[in-house]
Structure 1
Amino acid sequence: MAGPERNAVSEARALLARGEGAEAMRLLDRAVMADPGDMACRRLRGEIAIREGRMEVARADLEAAVRAEPGDVSLLHALAGACHATGSASTAIGYLERALALAPGQPRLWHSLGLVCHGAGRYRAALDAYQRALAIDPGLSPAAVGIAKVRQLLGELEPARRIFESVLARDPGNLDALGGLVLREELLGNVERAMGLLESARQRHPLPPDLVIPWARLRRRAGHAAEARESLEAILPRIADVQTRALALFALGHALDDLGDNDRAFAVITEANALKPRDFDAEGHRRRLNAIARAWTREALEGLAGMGCTSDQPVFIVGMPRSGTSLLEQILSRHPGIHACGELGVIGAIAAEWQDDRGVVAPTGLTREGLLAAAGRYLQEAGAGDAARLTDKMPANFIHLGVIQALFPGARIIHCLRDPLDTCLSCYFQDFSALGLSWSCRLEDIADYYDSYKGLMDHWRRTIDLPLLEVAYEDVVAAVEAQTRRVLAFLDLAWDPTCLAFEDSDRPVTTASFDQVSRGLYGSAVGRHKAYRKHLGPLLRIAEAGADER
Structure 2
Amino acid sequence: MGNALKDQGKLDEAIAAYNKALSIKPDYAETYNNMGVTLQDQGKLEEAIAAYNKALSIKPDYAVTHRNLSGLIKYKRNDPQISSVDELLKRLDLKDADRCHLLYAFAKMNEDLGCFEAAYDNYVVGGALRKKLLAYDLRHDRALFAKIREVASSLNDFDSTPPNAKTSHTPIFILGMPRSGTTLVEQIIACHSQVQGAGELNFLGNLGNSIACGAKPLTPDSMTKLQVKYLDELAKLSNGHQFVTDKMPHNFLYIALVLKALPEAKIIHVKRNPAATCWSNFKHYFQSNGLGYSYDLSDTVQYFSLYQDLIDFWDDLYPDQIYHLDYDRLTVDQELETRQLVEHLGLDWEDACLSPHENKRSVRTASQQQVREKMYSGSSEAWRKFEPYLNGAFDEFVTQ
Tell me the TM-score normalised to structure 1 length: 0.65
- 3-state SS of paired residue (1:521): coil
Q: Quick one: distance in 2 between partners of 1:297 and 1:461?
A: 13
Q: Quick one: distance in 1 between partners of 2:154 and 2:340?
A: 28
Aligned counterpart, 1:464: 318
> Is the 8 Å Cα contact of residues 298 and 464 (structure 1) preserved in structure 2?
no
In the TM superposition, residue 241 of structure 1 has moved relative to its aligned partner by 2.5
In the TM superposition, residue 158 of structure 1 has moved relative to its aligned partner by 2.5
2:182 equivalent to 1:325: yes
In the TM superposition, residue 237 of structure 1 has moved relative to its aligned partner by 2.9
2:259 corresponds to which letter in structure 1? Answer: Q
Task: Give the alignment of 1:267-278 within 5 angstroms.
Answer: 267-278=121-132
> Is the 8 Å Cα contact of residues 213 and 247 (structure 1) preserved in structure 2?
yes
- 3-state SS of paired residue (2:238): coil
Cα gap change, 1:306/1:503 in structure 2, threshold over 3 Å: closer, same or farther?
same
2:221 equivalent to 1:365: no
> Is the 8 Å Cα contact of residues 433 and 441 (structure 1) preserved in structure 2?
no
Aligned counterpart, 2:143: 287
Q: Quick one: distance in 1 between partners of 2:254 and 2:153?
A: 13
Cα gap change, 1:234/1:494 in structure 2, threshold over 3 Å: closer, same or farther?
farther
2:149 equivalent to 1:297: no
Cα gap change, 1:520/1:251 in structure 2, threshold over 3 Å: closer, same or farther?
farther
Q: Quick one: distance in 1 between partners of 2:259 and 2:380?
A: 33
Q: Looking at both structures, which has the greater relative contact order when contacts are Cα pairs under 8 Å and sequence separation is at least 6?
A: 2
1:177 to 26, 31, 34: 31
2:89 equivalent to 1:233: no
Q: Quick one: distance in 2 between partners of 1:344 and 1:402?
A: 18
Cα gap change, 1:454/1:310 in structure 2, threshold over 3 Å: closer, same or farther?
farther
- 3-state SS of paired residue (2:173): strand
- 3-state SS of paired residue (2:349): coil
Cα gap change, 1:390/1:225 in structure 2, threshold over 3 Å: closer, same or farther?
farther
Tell me which stretches of 4 or more aligned residues in structure 1 moved more than 6 Å. Answer: none
2:230 corresponds to which letter in structure 1? Answer: Y
Q: Quick one: distance in 2 between partners of 1:432 and 1:243?
A: 13
> Is the 8 Å Cα contact of residues 318 and 397 (structure 1) preserved in structure 2?
yes
Task: Give the alignment of 1:117-156 within 5 angstroms.
Answer: 144=1, 148-149=2-3, 151-156=5-10
Cα gap change, 1:205/1:536 in structure 2, threshold over 3 Å: closer, same or farther?
closer
Task: Give the alignment of 1:441-456 within 5 angstroms.
Answer: 441-456=295-310
In the TM superposition, residue 339 of structure 1 has moved relative to its aligned partner by 0.9
Aligned counterpart, 1:336: 193
Cα gap change, 1:492/1:263 in structure 2, threshold over 3 Å: closer, same or farther?
same
Q: Quick one: distance in 2 between partners of 1:214 and 1:433?
A: 11
2:62 to 190, 209, 213: 209
Cα gap change, 1:189/1:234 in structure 2, threshold over 3 Å: closer, same or farther?
farther
Tell me the TM-score normalised to structure 2 length: 0.88
2:239 equivalent to 1:390: no
Q: Quick one: distance in 2 between partners of 1:255 and 1:518?
A: 22
2:366 equivalent to 1:493: no
Deviations 1:60-98 (A, max 9, x none): xxxxxxxxxxxxxxxxxxxxxxxxxxxxxxxxxxxxxxx
Task: Work out which of the two has the higher radius of gyration on C-alpha atoms and give 1 or 2.
Answer: 1
Deviations 1:249-297 (A, max 9, x none): 2122223223322211111111111212343332342233223223323
Aligned counterpart, 2:205: 348
Deviations 1:305-327 (A, max 9, x none): 46544657111111111100011
Cα gap change, 1:498/1:173 in structure 2, threshold over 3 Å: closer, same or farther?
same
- 3-state SS of paired residue (1:277): helix
> Is the 8 Å Cα contact of residues 322 and 513 (structure 1) preserved in structure 2?
yes
Figure out how many residues of one structure are paired with residues of the other and give that number.
392
Cα gap change, 1:535/1:372 in structure 2, threshold over 3 Å: closer, same or farther?
same
Q: Quick one: distance in 2 between partners of 1:161 and 1:320?
A: 32
Aligned counterpart, 1:376: 228
> Is the 8 Å Cα contact of residues 309 and 371 (structure 1) preserved in structure 2?
no
Cα gap change, 1:361/1:334 in structure 2, threshold over 3 Å: closer, same or farther?
farther
Deviations 1:344-395 (A, max 9, x none): 011101123435xxx3367x7221x432332222122222154221111111
Q: Taking every aligned residue pair, what percent have the same amino acid on both sides?
A: 24
> Is the 8 Å Cα contact of residues 355 and 374 (structure 2) preserved in structure 1?
no
Aligned counterpart, 2:41: 187
Q: What stretches of structure 1 of length at least 5 have no aligned partner?
A: 1-143
Q: Quick one: distance in 1 between partners of 2:380 and 2:289?
A: 25
- 3-state SS of paired residue (2:43): coil
Q: Quick one: distance in 2 between partners of 1:542 and 1:155?
A: 40
2:113 corresponds to which letter in structure 1? Answer: L
In the TM superposition, residue 232 of structure 1 has moved relative to its aligned partner by 3.0
2:382 to 514, 519, 528: 528
Task: Give the alignment of 1:474-513 within 5 angstroms.
Answer: 474-513=328-367
Q: What stretches of structure 2 of length at least 5 have no aligned partner?
A: none
Q: Quick one: distance in 1 between partners of 2:165 and 2:154?
A: 19
1:262 corresponds to which letter in structure 2? Answer: F
In the TM superposition, residue 510 of structure 1 has moved relative to its aligned partner by 1.0
Cα gap change, 1:464/1:151 in structure 2, threshold over 3 Å: closer, same or farther?
farther
- CA-atom RMSD in angstroms: 2.8
2:205 corresponds to which letter in structure 1? Answer: G
Deviations 1:157-200 (A, max 9, x none): 12322321221121111111111112222222222222344556
